[in-house]
Structure 1
Amino acid sequence: MAGSSKKMSLMGLTTLVAVNMMGSGIIMLPTNMAQLGAVSLLSWVITAIGSMAIAYCFAQCGIYCTRAGGMSAYTAEAHGRSAFFLCSFLYFLSLAIANIAVAISAVGYLTAFVPWFGSGSVPLFVGTLGLIWLTIVANFGGPRVTGRIGAISVWGVIIPVAGLSVIGWFWFQPSILIDAWNPRGLPISEAISSSIPLTLWAFLGMESAAQNSDAVENPKRNVPLACLLGTLGAAVVYVLSTTVIQGIVPNSELANSSAPFALVYAHMFNPLVGNIIMGLAVVACIGSLLGWQFTLAQTAKVTADQDMFPALFSKVSAANAPILGMLACGALQTLMAISTISPDASAQFGKLVNLAAVTNLIPFVTALSGLLVIMYRAKVSPPLYQRNVLILLVAMAYSFYALYSCGKDAMFGGAIVLLIGYLLYGSMAKRLAARLAAQAALPVAEA
């Protein structure tokens, strides 16, 4: 009982889940959604339901599967060792891609203070690359420093966005929202499909919700509840903030803005307030990027510890920071940033979001499918099994729909990346088999 008093409550975990998801995911969305029109807001309903189902299933996986590795471990339960690698590989790449998108968001907000960043593709690339390497070097201090900075900086997004959800309605004009409803005359189904990757982007990070089960009171009850309530809380803030902003700022302005939340606060108050919001958003994006850079390196480290990534990713400093791995991650992100150079921050952001969604959704599907095996091995009760299967079907249906909505280009890119993953694993298979055989004191042929 004494130990449980030190554990996290349901309210604490719910807040943690919502804060982890919000991060910087919302920061550029109003601009990209405005390019489709306010009709894109309908996609929030589908994404919220799908995300809640996915979050719940991951919570169930975390409760009944105690293996290290998160989604990769859940995948391996159903699909074996090679799937552990492929899940880690795709998730690793999705984080690298997402980091570039977050850096672009930050540069978009920085243009108010350094206009040169918005003057062309090269300045935008320089600013993006500068933030990527700044946050990598800042992570050399280890996880304790990273955690402290992230816990403070994330409120730079949450306060303005959540605040807009409440006070923005005093400036809301229905006529502006009506005018922005469907400026391109798209069929509703097409508008929803086109915006699904954008709304899904805001929920990425929910897969980490079950990772705190050891530090939670009554995890079998509180972890699933916190996943659902935290995801629902984030969804409410997302829907309200992106709706109210479309009823304050004319669609033509919003669709061309590189700092939508700063723009709406400037409309509501004055340019000074808008600049303050820009500053908060930059701090939040940098803090979020700092945390995700460390998560990227840690994902590589966990996989390297299984001998599935190069050994350099496993090496850590005295401060417990995988510095060599971070440098390698920085080199990869530099190459990715070069390949996506565009003078338009919004266009570049949208392209990266689609690819990040695909490379994240494939691990989602493989990890979710592991729940069936995990429940069978845990011998869960028939009513719980049936309920979880029903929610799993909802999560799977949304995942497949989201993959379809990402478009042919992103799906093609994801397929190429997946095939490269198979090639990489095949090149390591002999070495892995030999190591496993040695551990089991068996001949390689038998292992």
Structure 2
Amino acid sequence: MSMMQLTVLVAVNMMGSGIIMLPANMAQVGAISLLSWIVTALGSMAIAYGFAQAGLLNQRAGGMAAYAEDAYGKGGYFLTFFLYFLSLAIGNVAIAISAVGYLAAFFPWLSSSPIATCIGVIGLIWLTTVANFGGPRVTGRIGAITVWGVIIPVAGLSIIGWFWFKGSTFSAAWNPQGLSLMKGVDSSIALTLWAFLGMESAAQNSDAVENPKRDVPMACMLGTLGAAAVYVLSTTVIQGIVPNKALAESTGPFADAYAQIFNPAVGSVIRALAILACLGSLLGWQFTIAQTAKTAADDRLFPKFFSKINKMTAPVLGMIIMGVVQTLLAFSTASPSLSKQFSVLVNLAVVTNVIPYIISLSALMIMMRKAGVVEHTYKINTFVATVAMLYGTYAIYASGMEAVLGGTIVLALTFLIYGFLAPRFPSPVTIEPARG
């Protein structure tokens, strides 16, 4: 794989279904929220670079959790793995909500009440769970095709949308709430970071690259920058096409933009593509969650029943259990507004995702010392990793008190669970028997 091929792969991996509801959520703040993209793009590139360097030094299975283990032992491995695992489950519910938002145009009853929306979300969760019983081959093929259902319309709007862009529409949408510059940026940091989640997977392909030491860091940076360009352009141009009030209330912002540019029929086609992309993304992430749980069970970090597979090598029991967990999440976050429910889940997903980012990136310094990295490289990597961790800390703060409270509770439960698992593994500290 060449550097350019890996760069495209990185960008495509990030540009999934996470972007399709963002314009509506950002419009509730105003176009001033677009400034969040600048901060998030810089922070995300720092995170991507840190993971690229860590991936070159540690290529064991487990990714971020394996990086954390180098510094914090098996406890760090479990903490990173479990929080990331939960963030994927939370993110899946948010993806299902995005799909329901676009489906509501075809089936209006889905947005008629919180209960109807919740039923729709749960229905999609179980549809994609059961579809995964066929094994990884089917899931992979579907996901590789359906992801373009989002990428093509979003990237396309970034290019052609400017012919219909109106400065007056954009100006009216700039700051309808009269927020300060800092408040405007803070309000959308979690939303914009949500679109970049998945960048940690970039370093996992280092063994298939011609020159990993040169190509992996560059591809991570360029791929993240490419995704950032599409995100910024598409969410900016849509603010100059669809009036802010209509955009803020939209359940399918990109479909509405295409309907306004061309006609409702084209908007309906875009809606259908977005729905397929969400279903494909949800299908892939459902399998990823179950497979992650299976790997943890194989390492004695999860109950053994997560390891059970069917004839198609699909961990069916684990999929069913995670389907139940996501169903409970859908019930617990039900809201009169699709946009509000989406925002709550995204904020919580970001908090539970960024904590593992910080833990694993903080291990980079120890990894470099163990590997005997030259001092110049050590200083550069340490600086970038520090920027990445500071950005991650800011993202947690910007996610809001409710998300931070939820993340803290999840963190406490993670330690509680590991307390029962710790005796299975050698202690890094020699424990003297009690005397007396």
> TM-score normalised by the shorter chain: which range applies?
over 0.9
Who is 1:296 aligned against?
289
Mapped to 1, the partners of 2:307 and 2:404 lie a distance apart of: 31
Who is 1:125 aligned against?
118
Gaps of 5+ in 2: none
Q: Quote how far apart the aligned CAs of 1:309 are.
A: 1.0
Q: Quote how far apart the aligned CAs of 1:302 are.
A: 2.0
Could you report, residue by residue, the CA deviation over 1:150-209 in whole angstroms, capped at 9, with x for unpaired residues?
Answer: 000000000000000000000000111000000000111011011000000000000111
Question: How do 1:128-143 residues align onto structure 2 when only pairs under 5 Å count?
Answer: 128-143=121-136
User: Which residue of 260, 263, 283 maps to 1:267?
Assistant: 260
Who is 1:176 aligned against?
169
Who is 2:210 aligned against?
217
User: Which residue of 361, 370, 383 maps to 1:368?
Assistant: 361
Mapped to 2, the partners of 1:159 and 1:350 lie a distance apart of: 24
Q: Quote how far apart the aligned CAs of 1:429 are.
A: 2.1
SS at match of 1:203: coil
Mapped to 1, the partners of 2:206 and 2:117 lie a distance apart of: 40
Could you report, residue by residue, the CA deviation over 1:17-74 in whole angstroms, capped at 9, with x for unpaired residues?
Answer: 1111010010100000000000000010000000000001001111111221111111
Who is 1:4 aligned against?
none
Mapped to 1, the partners of 2:67 and 2:320 lie a distance apart of: 28
Who is 1:162 aligned against?
155
Counterpart amino acid of residue 120 in structure 1:
S
Q: Given the alignment of the two structures, is residue 54 of structure 1 paired with residue 52 of structure 2, yes or no?
A: no
Aligned residue pairs total 431
Q: Given the alignment of the two structures, is residue 63 of structure 1 paired with residue 56 of structure 2, yes or no?
A: yes
User: Which residue of 59, 62, 73 maps to 2:66?
Assistant: 73
Mapped to 1, the partners of 2:195 and 2:55 lie a distance apart of: 22
Mapped to 2, the partners of 1:55 and 1:445 lie a distance apart of: 42
Counterpart amino acid of residue 189 in structure 2:
I
Question: How do 1:185-264 residues align onto structure 2 when only pairs under 5 Å count?
Answer: 185-264=178-257
Question: How do 1:395-406 residues align onto structure 2 when only pairs under 5 Å count?
Answer: 395-406=388-399
Could you report, residue by residue, the CA deviation over 1:211-259 in whole angstroms, capped at 9, with x for unpaired residues?
Answer: 1111111111111111001100000000000000000010000000000
Cα RMSD after superposing both structures: 1.4
TM-score relative to the length of structure 1: 0.95
Percent of aligned pairs with the same residue? 63
SS at match of 2:381: helix
Q: Given the alignment of the two structures, is residue 278 of structure 1 paired with residue 271 of structure 2, yes or no?
A: yes
Mapped to 2, the partners of 1:55 and 1:318 lie a distance apart of: 37
Counterpart amino acid of residue 32 in structure 2:
V
TM-score relative to the length of structure 2: 0.97
SS at match of 1:391: helix
Q: Quote how far apart the aligned CAs of 1:319 are.
A: 2.0
SS at match of 1:80: helix
Gaps of 5+ in 1: 1-7, 438-442
Q: Quote how far apart the aligned CAs of 1:343 are.
A: 2.5
Q: Given the alignment of the two structures, is residue 287 of structure 1 paired with residue 271 of structure 2, yes or no?
A: no
